[in-house]
Structure 1
Amino acid sequence: MFDPDLTGFGALRGQRVAVAMSGGVDSSVVAALAAASGCEVVGVTLQLYVSGAAAARPGACCAGADIRDARGVAERLGIAHYVIDMEARFRDAVITAFADSYARGQTPVPCVECNKTVKFTDLLALARELDCTALLTGHYVQRIDGSDGPELHRGADPAKDQSYFLWTTTRRQLDYLRFPLGGLSKPEVRRAAEHFGLAVAAKPDSQDICFVGGGDYAAIVERLRPELATPGDIVDLGGRVIGRHAGIHRFTVGQRRGLDIGGAPEPLYVVRIDAAANRVVAGPRAALAVTSARVEDCNALGALDGPLMVKVRSLAAPAPARWYGDRIVFDTPLFGVAPGQAAVAYRGSRLVAGAMIAATEGAVAGTDRLASVF
């Protein structure tokens, strides 16, 4: 039995609120909780695909069956529901940017771009146009009022925390956003869906990148940037050719699988991707060790002084570090830090800043990967 805690809606009771409804269980429960609290709920679903494999593939949110599921939940709850065509915007802001990042030899995080542009810029603006007091989403993060305004914190369930993907959220956006699931676990959310009689209660979570069918992201990239399918050299740290590749977009820093280099005295990993020369640089695991990183496009939500815990990949454990302007120095070397990924800093559970990793500095002589010296 699930006993919904609606106290967190506070001043929103009786107010008109927008709920981003993807058709999944999380956003559906948010809509149900908001309706149960006495809010006037406006459900908004973004149609991100109209045709193609992505639209029909299970796990591709905001398309096909997901839109029908969102509409069904809205009917069940008796709330208004709108479907907004955002396919062109999503293609330009997220999918094309995804391919462009690989063309630069980076490893992109498309969920960050989606939250930054389509969801927390376009959808948020639409919610304001609809005269809504707040925009509610199903993200597993917590918005906590602090002495200097609202703060962004990790979700209470470590297995579902999505704060890494929301580092671009600005203070002004955070003032308008609400995350009702931040204090819940996934099992609790599913029990809530059952409590409200939602047909999506047992619906599987979306997996991987929503617009990549079957995990074949390379096909997406090659369709948009066919020139990246040009074969090139795999070289060692000294520049000696040791193999060939079928396109730099098929590799990321730290990758071992796919190098297909025989006769090496020890396992080799991708250490650097030289996009200008169409080369993949490989080396031993020790060459992956990174002592610092140069970052850009920083978004600070709190103070960056003193010791912090920094995540450099979504699934990586936070590591102790210090942040100096556009430079992050790690207390101990980290492995597999890739340009194009995000560096997200925490103090306790609070997200205090995030930025894009532009370049890294190796701990092993000869593996400097910085575009310039700090």
Structure 2
Amino acid sequence: MKVAVALSGGVDSFVSALLLKQEGYEVTGIFMRISEDEKLLEGSRFAASLLNIRLHIVDLREPFRKLVIEPFVKSYLEGKTPNPCVVCNEFMKFSLLKEEAKKIGAALFATGHYVRKVPWNGKWVLLKGKDLKRDQSYFLWRISQKDLEEALFPLGDKTKEEVKELASSYGLIREESREVCFIKGDYRTFIESFPFERKEGPIVDLEGKVLGWHKGVHLFTIGQRHGLGLKKERPFYVLKIEDNKVIVGPKEALFKKRLRAKEAKWILEEPPSTEFFCHGKIRYRHEGAPCKVLIQEEEIYCEFLEPQMAITPGQALVLYEGDRLLGGGWIEEVID
């Protein structure tokens, strides 16, 4: 059976393709070109040559700009902190790139995500990867049953060290990829390369007292301590961004229990019930914590049993039952 592997040139996608070849699949590489960086394309070509497989290059620079980069910039300008990887997986990899894979005759589509796919009552679900430090299920909460049906995740039972060692034994050694693949350096510099109306505004404390002035809310994120430009005797943290105001206060004020998330989506297409207990993650590196969830149409009202630090609008709330990914939503509001 023919499978197309999203081949970035990194060790994860390389080893994914290698393992599938060893299992007897007819493997072809497919490269998603999203930038002008020729080194990325060269890296993918080198990986394909080591694997002795064909590489199909798909130019998706324009849709990537419209679907991922522009919403990313817009979100920061609105005072939110976006997660572009979730958006990329939904609209780019498991949509446009997968469609291109079908055009070249691939029945299955594989990626290098550290996540496990298992059958569940006639459907498919995702479990966290064996390597919990590298688990990437957080980024896949918006993919559909159809996506899962056609997907392979060869690294689900591997650790990162095993993958790096295997890649090295075949002659591929790579540095860790950037957290945001399309940004070199500081995200603020990247955002300021786009044309937008700069709006200065006040930095205020919890009582509304003006402590200073900012040059744009895109320069801040919830929980930020440094770079506030304030003369202070004690540390201030960014607590909230609203109406072009940056609200700051003590660290303890960052801890909140409740939030509202929008655009809920569920791996099994429906939530477990309208009200249930589970574990919630509020960012990729968040360990997750017990919470109670109430579902109202496409909104999720979530209350953690213990306060969580720096719940951030724009990030994803992702829900789990043990290792099983249930679904999630985009954090819209922190409720006091």
TM-score range, shorter chain: over 0.9
Identity %: 36
- The separation in 2 between residues aligned to 1:318 and 1:328, in whole angstroms, is 13
**What is the aligned partner in structure 1 of residue 130 from structure 2?**
156
Assess, with a 3 A threshold, how the Cα gap between structure 1 residues 144 and 262 changes in structure 2: closer, same or farther.
same
- Contact 2:255/2:307 (8 A) holds in 1: yes
**What is the aligned partner in structure 1 of residue 287 from structure 2?**
317
**What is the aligned partner in structure 1 of residue 62 from structure 2?**
88
Post-superposition offset of 1:137: 0.5
Post-superposition offset of 1:110: 1.1
- Contact 2:265/2:328 (8 A) holds in 1: yes
Unaligned runs of 5+ in 1: 1-14, 56-63, 363-374
**What is the aligned partner in structure 1 of residue 146 from structure 2?**
172
Post-superposition offset of 1:73: 2.4
**What is the aligned partner in structure 2 of residue 273 from structure 1?**
241
Match of 1:101 among 75, 82, 85: 75
Unaligned runs of 5+ in 2: none
Post-superposition offset of 1:136: 0.5
Post-superposition offset of 1:129: 2.3
- The separation in 2 between residues aligned to 1:225 and 1:92, in whole angstroms, is 15
| 1:202-225 alpha-carbon deviations (Å, 9 max, x no partner) | 2112022111112x1112212224
Match of 2:49 among 75, 84, 90: 75
- The separation in 1 between residues aligned to 2:258 and 2:168, in whole angstroms, is 47
**What is the aligned partner in structure 2 of residue 347 from structure 1?**
321
**What is the aligned partner in structure 2 of residue 40 from structure 1?**
26
Alignment of 1:17 onto 2:3:
yes
- The separation in 1 between residues aligned to 2:232 and 2:99, in whole angstroms, is 57
- The separation in 2 between residues aligned to 1:317 and 1:43, in whole angstroms, is 34
**What is the aligned partner in structure 1 of residue 261 from structure 2?**
295
- Contact 2:276/2:294 (8 A) holds in 1: no
- Contact 2:313/2:333 (8 A) holds in 1: yes
Assess, with a 3 A threshold, how the Cα gap between structure 1 residues 70 and 218 changes in structure 2: closer, same or farther.
same
Alignment of 1:203 onto 2:170:
no
**What is the aligned partner in structure 2 of residue 255 from structure 1?**
224
**What is the aligned partner in structure 1 of residue 14 from structure 2?**
28
Equivalent position amino acid for 2:253 in 1: A
**What is the aligned partner in structure 2 of residue 7 from structure 1?**
none
Post-superposition offset of 1:174: 1.0
**What is the aligned partner in structure 2 of residue 11 from structure 1?**
none
Figure out how many residues of one structure are paired with residues of the other and give that number: 328
Aligned CA-pair RMSD: 1.5
Of residues 104-113 and 185-194 in structure 1, the stretch that sits farther from structure 2 once superposed is 185-194
- Contact 1:99/1:225 (8 A) holds in 2: no
